[in-house]
Chain A
Amino acid sequence: MPWIDACSTSDIDEEDLIRWDHAGKTFAIYHAPDGAFFATAGLCTHEQVHLCDGLVMGTLIECPKHNGQFDYRTGEAMRAPVCVNLKTFPVKVEGGRVFVEVA
């Protein structure tokens, strides 16, 4: 699977996320409070809302529409109304750039 150069590490504040669109798909890339980066599908599994307007709290992303929560490291649905897990994608950081392995 190809590693795609998605953004610079400085594009995302710590404990925040951005939207990243690639090849007709939308993703969310996270900068965790411990400095690590993660990537998930960009739309909430409840009603297909962009997660990029949501709130990162520690290792959780809260959806802006109904406050459903996922653990963005594993994609696990943590709080109703989300029940279906979020797809996650491998991420690596090289030379100040964030690469996502898109499936």
Chain B
Amino acid sequence: MGRRDYSPFGADARRAVESGLAAAEWYHTDVPRKVMKDLMARSDQPAIRDTIILYASMVLFAGIGIALWPSWWSAPFWLAYGVLYGSASDSRWHECGHGTAFRTPWMNNAVYQIASFMIMRNPATWRWSHARHHSETYLVGRDPEIAVMRPPELAKLILNVFGVIDVIRFIPTLIRNAVSGPTPEEKTFVPESEWGKVRRAAIVHLAIYVATLALAVWMQSILPLMVIGLPRMYGAWHHIMTGLLQHGGLADNVIDHRLNSRTVLMNPISRFIYWNMNYHVEHHMFPMVPYHALPRLHEIMKADLPPPNRSIAEGFAEMWPAIRRQVLNEDYFIRRDLPPTAKPYREDFHQQVPGMMRPAAAE
């Protein structure tokens, strides 16, 4: 297919719209309506429990970190606090943005706003970018949340383990949003009625950062930034690790989440931090199912999915060589076998984009 153009104003974006790919109907596993209704049912209890554990742990770890500061003995507590701030906030932002974490809307909104601040995402802009990510997952030029663009820039991926690229992008966007609202790219997916919200949220976030910075200058210490801001960098590694696994090395420009998303079985701590988004094929196919019901959904639909990776390490062992291969051959992707019980991939779905699903690119 040649060089990909990820701009929302570029040739690939135009082609996705003109070919009908952008508006296509995606593949869904058959799940009986009664079962699905049961899976979709909302409840406050699991998310209240998890949120109390999360915030209480953050207060505890940051409190010990501050008490032991500036001794190196504080380091492990900062690392624990950082992962909760800079990585668990990603999954809380995500689930509460879908509105599925809690049954009660204000609880979803409150946790969404806090998580958006911590993960350095404008809560108004990113609600819309994520809607697009779901409608047009990994359609080049259309999905604004493609974590690994091809050919992958490995140095950038590695720098982002410490949030470097995200933060470098975030700061000018924050200032721009606070001064004049959404950028031209953001205006392609944020409706005009929401532009005021983008600006207001940016002003609030900016004010908190300026106040934290002022406190740090006044105290002549980076301690305030260890609590607010910097954990988005020193604690980002876990959400980058799990985020890369979501779609890395898999197909783009397809309309079957079994081809472009990855389910990875994980240890319970990572699942708590990631709020079960390791069941990523399931989540993309049925975004109405709350995080706490995803393990049940996985059991119900696994016969129709490629086998999940059995650990984070196994997921990386599959993904990383593919990403490295894409550096030289951006058309390369992993095409996983389906079990005999699964409905086959609909190759005819994917003929619309020139070069897509051609055998040379498949494994």
Contact = CB atoms under 8 A, between A and B. Distances in A.
A80 B286 CA distance: 18
A67 B99 contact: yes
B212 interface: no
A67 B286 CA distance: 10
Nearest to A63: B288
A80 B98 CA distance: 10
Interface residues of A, number: 17
Interface string B10-45: 000000000000010000000000001100111000
B288 A79 contact: no
Looking at A16, A53, A69, the one whose CB has the most chain B CB atoms below 10 A away is: A53
Interface stretch (B126-134, B162-170, B319-327): B126-134
B246 interface: no
A17 B44 CA distance: 23
Given A55-B37, A55-B40, A64-B288, A83 B134 contact: no
B135 A80 contact: no
B40 A67 contact: no
B191 A83 contact: yes
A81 B100 CA distance: 14
Given A62-B288, A81-B131, A67 B194 contact: no
Nearest to B128: A81
B105 A79 contact: yes
Name the prevailing secondary structure of the B interface residues: helix
A57 B42 contact: yes
A80 B99 CA distance: 10
Contacts, number: 42
Nearest to B134: A66
A97 interface: no
A38 B98 CA distance: 26
A79 B134 CA distance: 17
A83 B197 CA distance: 14
Interface residues of B, number: 22
A67 B287 contact: yes
A47 interface: yes
A53 B99 CA distance: 17
Given A16-B37, A47-B135, A80-B194, A54 B42 contact: no
Interface string A59-102: 00010111101000000000111010000000000000000000
A66 B135 contact: yes
Contacts of A46: 131
Contacts of A65: 134-135, 287
Contacts of A69: 99
Contacts of A16: 37
Given A66-B131, A79-B99, A54 B193 contact: no
Interface centre among B128, B131, B286 (most CB of A within 10 A): B131
A54 B191 contact: no
Nearest to A16: B37
Contacts of A67: 98-100, 287-288
Contact of A66 (B41, B103, B193, B287): B287
A83 B99 CA distance: 16
A71 to B, nearest CB: 13
Nearest to B194: A80
Contacts of A54: 288
B286 to A, nearest CB: 8
A95 B162 CA distance: 66
A83 B287 contact: no
Contacts of B134: 65-66
A83 B288 contact: no
14 contacts: A46-B131, A47-B23, A47-B135, A55-B42, A55-B288, A57-B103, A65-B135, A66-B287, A67-B99, A67-B287, A79-B105, A80-B128, A80-B194, A83-B191
Interface of B: 23, 36-37, 40-42, 98-100, 103, 105, 127-128, 131, 134-135, 191, 193-194, 286-288
Interface of A: 16, 46-47, 53-55, 57, 62, 64-67, 69, 79-81, 83
Q: Which 4 A-B pairs have the closest CB atoms?
A: A66-B131, A81-B131, A55-B40, A67-B99
